[in-house]
Amino acid sequence: MSAFDLLRTALLGPWGPKLLPQTLRLELLRLRFDGSFTWKAQKQLVEAAMRLSLRAYSGPEPAVLTSLFTPSELIHGLGMVPFGLESAGGMTASLDIAGHTLALADEGWLPSDACSILRSALGGARAGLLPRPVALACTTTLCDSTPKAFAEAARHLGGAPVFVLDVPYEGGDAAVEYLAGQLRSLASQLERLGGRLDPARLASAIRESNEARSYLVKINALRRQHPGLLSAADAAVFLYPTSLLLGSRDGTALYRAFYEELLAAARQRTPDDSAGLRVLWLHLLPYYPHHLLDHLTNAGATVVFEEMNEVYWEPLDPQQPFASLARKCINTLWNGPLSNRIAAIRRLASEHRIDGAVHFSHWGCRQSTGALPVVAAALQADGVPLLVLDGDCVDARSYSDGQYRTRLEGFVEMLESRRR
């Protein structure tokens, strides 16, 4: 039995919840001697994620369970620790315990056709695998399931209060004012639950976020100049720091480290105008081990960028933290009419000079897949073929490698024939 199997078995056992913090401590120790990472900054990211998780489980600061678009700047600015529910769902797949946690979700009558990322996280909550937060704070940005999943999670996490940030569909002064008021109110509520609302500290978190953002922008510029410099598999993990580490020193440090390392690597290369086929990845990648990117690479195509890593928000104003965080929440590409997302995809397609796009359609994600034919039509109008792969980001039972391989190879062949 490997160490991974041992860990998995232990987590699923009755002592799993108590073992988790110890496991994280051991893993942090082990990481010091782990030389298997492609990039040193990657290791830094994993260490930062583990430290943050360990603080959520063991303190001393109070933890807040957050959703993907809850502004982490606010949580860090209050001296609290964010712990992402969606990240927990993804982690169940990475640890290969999603079969167990999804079964627990089914036992609880949670809707089997809904997003498995949230369902699996809720199975984890039922199993006692999530930390006990002082509060839960989510946004309504992504989908109807998120606020519902947070209400359900609270029932298994000691009944901590749930704060739902009602994000307006589009911007404008009234919308910003409405959401900024909610953010102010959330800050006050969290202060009563152990946070420290200090304007200077909040402004500092905003500055940290801005600095991290500036490095992410530079990383993306490097990736435009050097397609393939950072693989999609390595870049996919950015979703964690952009949702949970912005506003923290760790977040800024790791983006700086990534940028400096990539810059050094880029200096060893010449800007790449080779004829390799360039693919834009839309939506998510599975969290469990898979070969989707390998199949593309083997067929002669490279994923040059991922939609999820687009920097969609403007720098924040430390003097107006609530209003600028409200703008950031509202302006995400996953909020508002689909035309916003399409405009961003078109811009990325042009900037990265892509030959085609692949959309991994996560089962149960009404948000990203509900109107996908409109996205396909827009790309078609621009002469960009789109391959839609139906799948599930968490439930590995839905993964059919042979079928995916056939479709990806066929897609690349078609791209090649178009280029000729």
Partner 1 sequence: MSCHRPEDAGRSSTSTGCSCHFPPSGVPRPATGRVGWLCTYTPEELLLAAGMQGVRLSGDFANEDRAKACYSSTICPYLRAALGAALGEACGPLAGVVVANACDGLRRLADVWAHYVPDTFVYLLDVPRSSDEAAVRYFAGALQGLRRYLEEYGGRAISDDALWEAIALQNGVRRALVALAECRRQGAFREPARAFYEIVWRSVTEPREAFARWLEGELAGDRFASRHLVGRRPNTSADGPRVVLSGNILTPLDYPVLDLLEESGAYVAADDLCTGERHFRQEVEEGKDGDPLAALARRYLGRTPCSRMANAAERADSLLETCREAEAGGVVYVSQKFCDAFLYDFPYFKARLAADGLRVMLLELDASQGSLGQARTRLQAFLEML
Please state the length of the chain. 420
CA-nearest of 370, 374, 386 to 418 is: 386
Secondary structure of residue 139 in the 3-state scheme:
strand
Nearer to partner 1, 170 or 401 (CB): 170
In DSSP terms, 291 is beta-bridged to: none
Tell me if 296 sits within 8 A of 279, measured CB to CB. Answer: yes
| Residue ranges in contact with partner 1 by CB under 8 A | 108-111, 113-115, 140, 143-145, 147-149, 151-152, 155, 164, 166, 168-175, 178, 181-182, 330, 336-340, 342-343, 346, 363-364, 366-367, 369-374, 377-378, 381
Minimum distance from residue 44 beta carbon to partner 1 (Å) = 36
Minimum distance from residue 418 beta carbon to partner 1 (Å) = 21
Minimum distance from residue 174 beta carbon to partner 1 (Å) = 5
Minimum distance from residue 142 beta carbon to partner 1 (Å) = 9
C-beta contacts of 21-24 below 8 A and 24+ residues apart: 21/54, 21/57, 21/58, 24/50, 24/53, 24/54, 24/57
Minimum distance from residue 385 beta carbon to partner 1 (Å) = 16
Nearer to partner 1, 220 or 361 (CB): 361
Nearer to partner 1, 14 or 370 (CB): 370
Residue 277: which H helix or E strand, with range?
strand 277-283
State the number of CA atoms in the 13 A half-sphere of 219 facing the CB.
27
Nearer to partner 1, 210 or 368 (CB): 368
Q: Measured between alpha carbons, how far is 229 from 224 in angstroms, rounded to an integer?
A: 9
Nearer to partner 1, 138 or 246 (CB): 138
State the number of CA atoms in the 13 A half-sphere of 309 facing the CB.
26
State the helix-helix crossing angle for 40-58 and 249-267, rounded to 10 degrees.
Answer: 170
Minimum distance from residue 140 beta carbon to partner 1 (Å) = 6
Q: Measured between alpha carbons, how far is 53 from 296 in angstroms, rounded to an integer?
A: 33
Nearer to partner 1, 224 or 366 (CB): 366
